[in-house]
Amino acid sequence: MSVDYIIVGLGLAGLAFAKELENHKKSFLVFEDNSQNSSLVAGGIYNPVVLKRFTPVWNATEQLNIALPFYSALENQFNKKYDFPITIYRLFKSVEEQNNWFSACDNPALSNYMDTKLIKERYEGISADFGYGKLRNTGRIDTKSLLKDYRNYLSQRKLIRNESFQYEAVKINENTVEYKDVIASKIVFCEGFGLKYNPFFNELPMQEAKGELITIHAPKLNIDFFIKSAVFVLPLGNNFYKIGATFNWKDKTQLPTEEGKNELTTKLESFMTVPYQIVEHVAGIRPTVKDRRPLVGKHPKHQNMAVLNGLGTRGVMIAPTLAKALYNNLENGIALDKEISIARFL
């Protein structure tokens, strides 16, 4: 079998790159072994403001300008909704936080997103003595449905193999990459935290940031907006809510833990006062990098081998931008922005 590209891994990074190839009518084959699940468990939120410090997310507006049409095209392709715009309410803990919010509203990079009005409404089940700040132009991508549909679509076309990519079986020639019965012009690795096991790129400084989430049913809580406090509360409909997420920099497993659950429920109960039941508990590893920038670019020795990784905590917003940049680099020789290029570590 002969293709333009082999893609290893189909989370948000692999999907964005596969879509970019489809847009340019390039052929490809994906290998996916379900060893990582960050993209499947993600909250899926896109939000251009850092809610701890009220600062702009790096390149957020540029990323959203590419990401929103990207997800909209997928909605058209599969005739299904994946993008659910949702207002974010930042719950204030003090007058000082209110003041910080209103100062940040003056920042021109944020004024498109941050509302200058203090929200004082009371909502049953939520304790918010200092009110909320409201964000606009934010939303959630249903990453699980999107990935499921895209993987099915590839399956029907025999463009995905559900097996582990074995690095030792790859043969790199000057102009081609051979892997078992497949000959490709190039190979792009999109394994998320699985990059740790990739001998070609495992020296890149990937850090594990495990995250756990629970889904609860709270019959007395009736909100249709996202709350960010000690944890987030993301409404899913019918009184179900996703609560997240933890950050653990040591645990490399993807298993949900008692410790993670206790952390989430303790933090939730610090501001939510109605009864609830936990119906699901999941975990995944965010592929983060020590300088909080992505890992994109060609292998220093093998020009037909590249990596698309390091999406960190904001894969939804950043993946489509990175996929475009990598495609343009590989196909058109357009240099990568220094901040995203792996050259900064090599």
Ligand X SMILES: Cc1cc2nc3c(=O)[nH]c(=O)nc-3n(C[C@H](O)[C@H](O)[C@H](O)COP(=O)(O)OP(=O)(O)OC[C@H]3O[C@@H](n4cnc5c(N)ncnc54)[C@H](O)[C@@H]3O)c2cc1C
Query: In this chain, which of 138, 229, 309, 329 binds ligand X, going by CB under 6 A?
Result: 309
Query: In this chain, which of 242, 286, 293, 324 binds ligand X, going by CB under 6 A?
Result: 286
Q: Which is nearer to ligand X, 41 or 128 (CB)?
A: 41
3-class DSSP assignment, residue 196: helix
- Non-local (6+) Cβ contacts of 110 within 8 A are 48, 49, 54, 55, 56, 104
Binding mask 227-266 for ligand X (x = CB under 6 A): -----------------xx---------------------
Question: Considering only 19-27, 74-82, 94-102, 315-323, which stretch makes contact with ligand X by CB under 6 A?
Answer: 315-323
Query: In this chain, which of 48, 133, 139, 211 binds ligand X, going by CB under 6 A?
Result: 211
C-alpha 250/C-alpha 253 separation (Å) is: 9
Beta strands in the chain (DSSP E): 2-8, 28-31, 45-46, 49-50, 55-56, 83-85, 88-91, 132-135, 139-141, 160-161, 170-172, 177-179, 182-189, 206-217, 226-228, 232-237, 240-244, 277-289, 295-298, 305-309
C-alpha 264/C-alpha 269 separation (Å) is: 9
Q: Which is nearer to ligand X, 213 or 330 (CB)?
A: 213
Binding mask 64-103 for ligand X (x = CB under 6 A): ----------------------------------------
Footprint (CB under 6 A) of ligand X, residues 9-48: 9-14, 31-36, 38-39, 41-45
CB of 17 to ligand X, least distance (A): 9
CA-atom Rg of the chain in angstroms: 21
Given the rule CB under 6 A, which residues bind ligand X? 8-14, 31-36, 38-39, 41-45, 164-165, 190-194, 211, 213, 244-245, 284, 286-287, 309, 311-317
